[in-house]
Structure 1
Amino acid sequence: MVAGEVRRIRCVGAIVRDSSGRLLLVRRAHDPGRGQWSLPGGKVESGESDAAAVIRELREETGLAVAVGARVGQVERLAPTGVYEIHDYACAVTSGDLRAGDDATEAAWVDLATFTTLERSNRLVDKLADTLRAWRSLPG
């Protein structure tokens, strides 16, 4: 890395809905965002594609298998050693039973009323609500 260059850490996230339009969220077990609700996802490992990372992270954090669809958008968040570059993808559940695991203390299908309550009580990771609103990806 060149001096003065910011380290970019590639990450992925998943926007997953159930048949009722509820959005899949996880409560983070570790920093960044410990204790707050977020989209499931995480770092892309060396040599791994975004799709493979999304599939792995969803299985680890929620117990669900997913089919990865189109990229919905990208956000950047400050990291302790650089910047997280997060690419979020629309996904559909193909199998599995929802359970929290790995970097999640809880996993839940969240409707708009619950999402709004989480937002108003500052229990969502920073800028999640604004980002999903801009992407027209709020829960139903």
Structure 2
Amino acid sequence: MKDHPLELFHFCPKCGSKNFEIHNALSRHCNDCGFTYYQNPRASTAAFILNSKGELLIARRAKDPAKGTLDLPGGFVDNAETAEEGMVREIREETGLEIKPDRVEYLFSIPNIYRYSGMDIHTLDLFFLCHVEDGQEVAADDDAAELTWLPLREVYVERFGLKSIRQAVHRFLARNC
């Protein structure tokens, strides 16, 4: 399991025992207290936001990983939140847009590895399509340094910094151009 996130954990998070051993490819088990810790992927979201002109809202990343590259608005789903609720929240935080959860359409998912704080976080990236009403202003905030509306013919996959986002944009453009 070289380079696997479980390699970083050597003590049981419940009792602190060093008797915390590899159980299988996704877990460690404490032989003292019986606790089993599973390392499952984190759910994250990303949005293809289209306006009435058919333009896509593109963000420029304000933070690492891939700071300065293009991205789609999105982020991690919080505890006790549906993927749609997380998508709506992330859109509001990064763009200022108010999207109703019933205007969020699930498209597809892509497994990913997101490097954060020196650790590879396995994620399951959920991609959504959102349509916005005319007249809504966008304002970059949180993880977005800037926002731009682009016609789909001007969206270039290689300008996106994160692997799963590049894959998703390629897939989206293949379906919609």
Same-fold status (TM-score > 0.5): yes
Task: List gaps (5 residues or longer) in structure 2.
Answer: 1-25, 29-36
Amino acid aligned to 2:147: A
* Identity level (%): 26
The residue matched to 1:64 in structure 2 has which SS?
A: coil
Secondary structure of the structure 1 residue equivalent to 2:27: coil
Match of 1:44 among 77, 87, 92: 77
Deviates more, 1:40-49 or 1:68-77: 68-77
Q: Secondary structure in 2 aligned to 1:66?
A: coil
CA contact (8 A) 1:110 1:139 kept: no
Relative contact order (C-alpha < 8 Å, sep 6+): which is higher? 1
Q: Find the partner of 2:111 among 57, 76, 85.
A: 76
Question: 2:126 corresponds to which letter in structure 1?
Answer: H
Q: Which residue of 2 aligns with 1:100?
A: 140
Does structure 2 retain, via aligned residues, the 8 Å contact 1:8–1:82?
yes
Q: CA deviation at 1:65?
A: 0.9
Query: Cα deviations across residues 3-54 of structure 1 (Å, max 9, x unaligned)?
Result: 3964411101111111111111111111222111111000001111111111
**1:85-96 map, 5 Å:** 85-94=124-133, 96=136
CA gap of 1:90–1:18, structure 2 versus 1, over 3 A, is same
For normalisation by structure 1, the TM-score amounts to 0.82
Structure 1 residue runs of 4 or more that deviate by more than 3 Å after TM superposition: 4-7, 126-130, 135-140
User: Number of residue pairs matched?
Assistant: 136
Find 2:160's aligned residue among 117, 124, 132: 124
Aligned partner of 2:87 in structure 1 is 54
Q: Secondary structure at the match of 1:20?
A: coil
Tell me by how many angstroms 1:134 deviates: 2.3
Q: Provide the residue aligned with 1:35 in structure 2.
A: 68
CA–CA separation in structure 1 for the residues paired with 2:174 and 2:148: 16
Which letter does structure 2 place at the counterpart of 1:23?
A: L
Mapped partners of 1:129, 1:72: distance in 2: 15
The TM-score normalised by the length of structure 2 is: 0.66
| Amino acid in structure 2 at the alignment position of 1:87 | L
Q: Is 1:2 the equivalent of 2:27?
A: yes
Question: What is the CA distance between 1:113 and its match in structure 2?
Answer: 4.2
Give 1:137 shift.
Answer: 6.3
Q: CA RMSD in A?
A: 2.4
